[in-house]
Amino acid sequence: MTVAVVRRLIVFALLFALVTIAAVGLAGLLERVIGLGTVLVVDTAGLARALAFVLVGAPLALVVWRWQRRRLAEPLERASLVWSVYLAAMTLTSLTSTVIFAASAVTSAVEGEWRPDEVAAALVWAGVWMWHRRMRRSPDTVPTRLPALGTELSALFGLIVAAFCAGSALAALISRALASVAPVLFDSRPWYLGVLQPLVWAAIGMLVWWWHWAHERASRARDALALVLLVTVVSGSASASLFGIGTVLHTVLRLLFDVDPVAEILSPLGAAVAAGLVGAIVCVGHLRMLPGRPPRVRVATRLAVCGAALIGAASGFGVVVNALLAGLDTTLVSDDPRTLLLGGLSALTVGVATWWPTWRPAHAVTVAESGDIGRRVYLVVVFGVSAVVALVTLLLIGFRLFETLLGSGGDPGDVSIEGGLIERIRAPLGLLSAMVLVFVYHFVVWRRDRALAPPVSRVPRVERVVLVAGRGSDPLAQHIREATGARVTLWEAADDRTPGGEADADAIVRQLQSLTAPRALVVAGAGLAPRVIPLSGPAR
């Protein structure tokens, strides 16, 4: 088994490299065909490199693929995780390259510039993507493990591109609208190009996302990776939205209480509004998907948003302490801490306003909630990380303190060098105060939940299942996986037995739930009742 895994790693790494080399060379040749008549100086070295890449890389890639293609007829090869990872990696690489080159070519065309190199590269990489998409959809080459990995990652990539570039276009539009009070730096290009070019990227990213999300049905995926990506998207978009809202509030407070020029105060407003609006749209859109997901996903999403809000609130509290300590500095040359104080108050306000209804500290915790594994992990992570950060900042404060004292000759009264002791420790002291507050609160909550939760008694259950069934039994394996929580490995039988149905799935689940062995072998199909064989030794 180890030799087979090493062989797959080498073969697929070689195939990845050869396909990439061949694509780069073919793009170079196609560029010269498309741009014929527009090149003033012939690049002999580039032409030689492109010919070498195509004439060497393409035949070798074809040989390696044909050799591996015959091996994919074996169920174990298609069940290999290496095959799934290769297919997802090359799909994502080709899609990313296609989007980058196509969007760059279109944005250059908007400015009136013809880029045959980008057009050629986009066409070639699009062909590579279509080739690997066909592999992913063909019944002879589709991976049986993580079959939707490439689709899910591609949908995430399209969403990121669409969200980021839509935010950039909105930020440019708002900055243009504020140009009368907050003029931007001199730009020789027309102002609409700063809006139109990001919109091109956003449109392409939206097309990529829609294709994989709706047409390729990534929205219907229920595997563990899809659930993790959903939690990640919600928490990331919520963080971006909270950051944008906090920056908008900071700008408003500075307009009311700060004395800096209006142009300087309004400079981050466009990006802040864009981040807050686009992040909120993405977050709300994905929150609507939670009702159809398992309860643990909804809990994980709520805790992720709560963690993002907690980071903002803790950061704001530390900045407020930092600004208040800056006001105690008696040195002659000192910056006005007003801007710093307003920034801390903004982050603290937005963070607490989001954290309070999400975490619900006034809510009476039930016994079931106190025993929830997601809540326990969240509490341990929060007070553990806060303790580590507090320790590091405490060491930094000690270092600054002794450095100042030693620099003053050991006289505690003479601590005014290089801006004074307060100036040197106020930033880490503010962070330390925030981390201590976070640690104490969450440690107390953790202790209370631990006392409230009933004692956990481990019920023996099957952790690993090897399912031997006919071709097309993936729904049966998925049903067993969801009903028992066990890791299921599907081995397709070599005979012509029919795949297991719902009746087989119910019978298998009942037998597995009655077992106390950690592993089991399940044989289904062939017109017989499914057999469940408990295993005591390690699965190999």
Q: Three-class SS of residue 524?
A: strand
Q: Are 20 and 93 in contact (CB under 8 A)?
A: yes
Q: Are residues 306 and 436 in the same domain?
A: yes
d(CA 159, CA 236) in angstroms, rounded, equals 12
Name beta bridge partners: 423.
none
When the pLDDT of each residue in the chain is averaged and rounded to a whole number, the result is: 86
Q: Is the pLDDT reported for residue 527 higher than 80?
A: no
Of 452, 473, 492, the domain-final residue: 452
Of the candidate ranges 17-31, 135-149, 385-399, 485-499, the one whose mean pLDDT is the lowest = 485-499
Highest mean pLDDT among 77-86, 335-344, 429-438, 477-486 belongs to: 429-438
**205: in domain:** no
Asked if residue 468 and residue 431 are part of one domain, the reply reads no
Both 448 and 318 in one domain: the answer is: yes
- pLDDT higher at 354 or 491: 354
* Token digits of residue 268: 């981050």
User: Residue 454 has what pLDDT?
Assistant: 66
- Residue 321 resides in a domain: yes
Of the residues 413, 431, 452, which one is the last residue of a structural domain?
A: 452
Q: Are 143 and 87 in contact (CB under 8 A)?
A: yes
Whether 522 and 422 share a structural domain: no
Q: Which of 142, 162, 187 is where one domain is finished?
A: 142
Q: Residue 385: which domain range?
A: 300-452
Residues 489, 380: one domain? no
Let me know how long the chain is: 540
Token pair of 114, please? 């013809």
Tokens 């801390």, located at residue: 344
For helices 373-407 and 420-452, give the axis angle rounded to 10 degrees.
160
User: What confidence score (pLDDT) does residue 413 get?
Assistant: 52
Instruction: State the average pLDDT over residues 4-10.
Output: 88
51 lies in the same domain as 129 = yes
Name the percent of the chain lying above pLDDT 70. 89
Number of domains within the chain: 3
Helix (H) or strand (E) holding 192: none
- Do 130 and 1 fall into the same domain? yes
* Same domain as 106, residue 1: yes
**522, 468 Cβ separation under 8 angstroms:** yes
User: Is residue 81 in a domain?
Assistant: yes
pLDDT value, residue 417: 43
Q: What is the CATH number of the domain that holds 470?
A: 3.40.120
170-220 tens-digit pLDDT: 999 998 888 777 666 555 667 778 889 999 999 999 999 999 999 988 888
**Residues 505 and 420 occupy one common structural domain:** no
> Does one domain contain both 342 and 434?
yes
Domain annotation covers residue 362: yes
Task: Dihedral sign for Cα 187, 191, 192, 194, please.
Answer: positive
pLDDT at 326: 83
Antiparallel, parallel or unpaired: β 464-469 and 487-492: parallel
Average pLDDT over residues 93-108: 95
User: Is residue 191, in this structure, part of any structural domain at all?
Assistant: no
253 located within any domain = no
Query: Is 174 among the domain residues?
Result: no
Regarding whether 437 and 524 lie in a shared domain, the answer is no
126 plus 17 within the same structural domain: yes
Position 55 confidence tier, pLDDT thresholds 50, 70, 90 = very high
What would the mean pLDDT of 258-269 be, rounded to a whole number? 86
What pLDDT, on a 0 to 100 scale, did the predictor assign at position 318?
Answer: 94
Residue 66: per-residue pLDDT = 93
Residue 468 host element (H or E): strand 464-469
Contact 169, 199 (CB under 8 A): yes
Model confidence at 387: pLDDT above 60: yes
Where residue 533 falls among pLDDT bands split at 50, 70, 90?
A: confident
In this model, does residue 306 exceed pLDDT 70?
yes
Inter-helix orientation angle 44-52/2-34, to 10°: 140
- Residue 203 identity (one-letter amino acid): A
> 80: exposed, middle or buried (C-beta count within 10 Å: 0-12, 13-18, 19+)?
buried
The answer to whether residue 456 scores a pLDDT higher than 80 is: no
What residues does 241 pair with on adjacent strands? Answer: none
Residue type, 187: D
- Whether 483 maps to a domain, the answer reads yes
Band (pLDDT 50/70/90 cuts) for residue 461 is: confident
Starting at the edge strand that comes first in sequence, how are the strands of the sheet with 528-535 ordered?
A: 487-492, 464-469, 519-525, 528-535
Asked if residue 374 lies in contact with residue 299, where contact means CB atoms within 8 angstroms, the answer is yes
Give the contacts of 234 (CB within 8 A, at least 6 positions apart). Answer: 283, 286, 287, 301, 304, 305
Q: Tokens 């903004």 map to which residue?
A: 346
Q: Cα separation of 437 and 530, whole Å?
A: 57
Q: CA dihedral defined by 400, 401, 402, 405, rounded to 10 degrees?
A: 120
pTM for the model? 0.80
Return the higher-pLDDT residue of 94 and 45.
94
Averaged pLDDT, 513-539: 77
With both helix axes pointing from N to C terminus, report the angle between 193-210 and 149-177 in degrees, rounded to the nearest 10: 160
